[in-house]
Structure 1
Amino acid sequence: MKPHIEVNELLRAVHHDMLNRLQVMQMNLDLGRTDQVRRLIEDYSLRCQHFFQLNNAGFHQMNNWLETVHIHHPEIKVTYEVEGAHKATPDQDSELVQMFDDFLHQMKERFTDYHDQLIHVTFEMKQPLHVHVHFVGNWTVLQDISYDQDTLFEIQIVEYTKTSLKLEIVERAR
């Protein structure tokens, strides 16, 4: 992972994002597109709800990673959602961050300027814990990627195409 993010850097990113969203809403209001403004407010509200749900599920470090990865990697767009009420352990939280960070580090050199890098994560907070990850980008050389640590999770490739990679990360039986 990149060096520690300073509070001012984080606040600057949060305010920049908020200003962009407000400007888009203002533009849509000026154009009389109130339905679009409602949709934007709903989307932002849902994003905030998922942030709080992920924190409540015990994924504090993972939440930090998901919410700040764009600061050091602006080419990456991340969305996520949380289903269920099971709690993650601190070890699961830190290991999942390490897995995401390792994958990003290995894939970073393969990113192309003209191709969006999107990540959508669904946390199924049940036993066993399931994390579904959908990467949209350029994954033509995935066979070089590895994650060979003794882990709390098992990783399964659900879909692998030139532009889409779907993984299921499942908690190993204890």
Structure 2
Amino acid sequence: MSKHWTVLETLKYTRHDWLNRLQLIKGNLSMGKPEQAERIMEEIVIDMQQEAMLSNIKLPRFAETLLTHNWKGYHFKLDYELVTIPEKLTLDDNLLTEWIIIFFDLMNQAVVPYYENILTVKIEATDETARFLFEFNGILENETELKHWLSEQDSYPDQVTYEKTGHHEWLIQALWYLNG
């Protein structure tokens, strides 16, 4: 599902996202729910701060992959949170991006389509490690290939763990040791 986005395509999808958000705000205001409209506006501010952080970590292919994920027709929605990030995250942008694209494609093959599947990526990094937590909430129908691929990842990233934490919840952790 890798695609090079033109400026026009990017603007089209961005405009669509913004119109959806504005319609939610407008709808809540017209229904006399200003608190709900305020909550949506606060979520937008947080999302924009996260997008800015992601755009500034000097991993442009990786950032583009996350920023455009929800436009690509995957059977799961992607949320992300950059928790702690040093000024320059010393990961190889191409290797990281290729790894994440394969992971997303395998995840997409494993999930039940048309169910509300959500993958949240939390990124925590120091000067020594980069830790990516993938918290999945949804239904995995065929996780065999995904589990097999994750168990084979012993050189990039440095460590991967996979565990089922609830009825429809999984936690996957990928750890990279930096500068070493």
Structure 2 length-normalised TM: 0.84
* Residue number in structure 2 paired with 1:116: 116
Shift of 1:5: 2.0
Partner of 1:163: 168
Q: What SS does the aligned partner of 1:144 have?
A: helix
> Structure 1: how far apart are the matches of 2:106 and 2:167?
17
Residue type of the alignment partner of 1:134: E
Which residue identity lines up with residue 129 of structure 1 in the other structure?
A
Which residue number corresponds to residue 82 of structure 1? 82
Cα distance, 1:129–1:139 mapped onto 2, change above 3 Å: same
Cα distance in 1 between the residues matched to 2:131 and 2:107: 23
Moved more, 152-161 or 34-43: 152-161
Aligned to 1:96: 96
In 1, Cα distance between the equivalents of 2:70 and 2:52?
19
Distance 1:72 1:167, change over 3 A: same
In structure 2, runs of 5+ residues without a counterpart are none
- Secondary structure of 1:165's partner? strand
Q: 1-side partners of 2:13 and 2:75: how far apart?
A: 14
Counterpart-to-counterpart distance in 2, 1:133 and 1:109: 16
Deviation readout 1:112-131 (Å, 9 max, x if unpaired): 33312211111112131111
- Superposition pairs for residues 1-150 of structure 1, below 5 Å? 1-73=1-73, 75-86=75-86, 87-91=88-92, 93-126=93-126, 127-145=128-146, 146-147=149-150, 148=152, 150=155
2:139 alignment partner AA: N
Percent identity reads 23
TM-score normalised to structure 1 length: 0.86
Whole-angstrom distance in 2 between the partners of 1:155 and 1:62: 19
Residue 107 to residue 79, structure 1, CA distance change in 2 (3 Å)? closer
Task: Give the Cα separation in 2 of the matches to 1:132 and 1:99.
Answer: 14
The structure-2 alpha-carbon separation of the partners of 1:69 and 1:5, relative to structure 1 and needing over 3 Å to count, comes to: same
Cα RMSD (Å): 2.1
- Listed as ranges, the gaps of 5+ residues in structure 1 are none
Q: Do the aligned partners of 1:139 and 1:164 also contact (CA within 8 Å) in 2?
A: no
The one-letter amino acid of 2:34's match is: T
Cα separation, partners in 2 of 1:7 and 1:26, compared to 1, 3 Å: same
